[in-house]
Amino acid sequence: MQGQSQQQAYDRGITIFSPDGRLYQVEYAREAVKRGTASVGIRAEDGVVLAADKRARSPLMEPASIEKLHKADDHVGVASAGHVADARQLIDFARRQAQVNRLRYGEAMGIETLTKTITDHIQQYTQIGGARPFGVALIVGGIENGEPRLFETDPSGTPYEWQALSIGSDRSDLRDYLEAEYEEGISTDEAVGLALDTLARTNDDGLTPEGVGVATITVDDEQYAEVSAEELEATLAERDLLASDDEDDESADADEE
């Protein structure tokens, strides 16, 4: 109780450190990420795979409008978890940066450079008062100099590169699974399967083609492409991940996905 009341004393804004050197508002923003449904990123030998749990809250909601996968540029995709409206801001920022890069230098922006431009933007919201941190994490994946690259941005504004990762709910479970199952050198197709296997672990009732989204960017064409519902259904059936029934989550309004 005392620990708690002490914690409260230092968590009212991003312009104060706690006595042990923590920024509580940034840590709480990470909780906002965990409130969102999971997204997964996997770097394959010949491409990058982004996948996201995008179950609708109602059968009347268009699954396509649940924004978890975003094309940032021809060769870059982004998967998000956490506060949806915040994610939109960062995606818009990323798209503008990528366009400016093409205009200014006449070439596609590197995945690492783009990621770090985003994290530097995020950092500003963790040091200067008058705003709150972004309550969202992003997986940024794409092809750079013919190589697949896969990055994470978190609410503190720290960039990390991964072979495979998950963000959002059940993060540590999914990460354990990925650490156990991921193997270097897997193909993009195998990575799509692994991504779906991973997401299935947060959905006891299985997955539906509409309830998940998968995108790939391969070394061959360097083009962001979303996997079609037909292909998804086939793959899910093949891996025995297909949900038996179309059930929707009865949860109340939520702005985290």
Report the site for a second copy in 87-126 (rule: CB under 8 A). 88-89, 92, 116, 119-120, 122-123, 125-126
Report the residue from 182, 209, 215, 227 that binds a second copy according to the rule CB under 8 A: 182
Interacting residue with a second copy among 74, 161, 189, 222 (CB under 8 A): 161
**Nearest CA to 35 among 173, 160, 137, 177?**
137
User: Torsions phi, psi of 31, nearest 5?
Assistant: -65, -35
Q: Of 163 and 187, which CB lies nearer to a second copy in the complex structure?
A: 163
Q: Which is nearer to a second copy, 100 or 131 (CB)?
A: 131
The sign of the dihedral angle between the CA atoms of 121, 138, 187, 226 is negative
When the beta carbons of 108 and 178 are compared against a second copy, the nearer one is: 178
Cβ-based neighbours of 96, under 8 Å, separated by 6 or more: none
Q: Choose between 138 and 236: whose C-beta lies nearer to a second copy.
A: 138
Q: Which amino acid is at 210?
A: E
**Is position 153 annotated as part of the catalytic site?**
no
User: Contact with a second copy (CB under 8 A): which of 45, 96, 100, 129?
Assistant: 129
Annotated active-site residue in 15, 37, 153, 198: 37
Residues 20-59 binding a second copy (CB under 8 A) are 20-26, 28-35, 58-59
**Strands of 224-226's sheet in order across:** 164-167, 39-43, 47-53, 212-218, 224-226
Residues annotated as part of the active site: 37
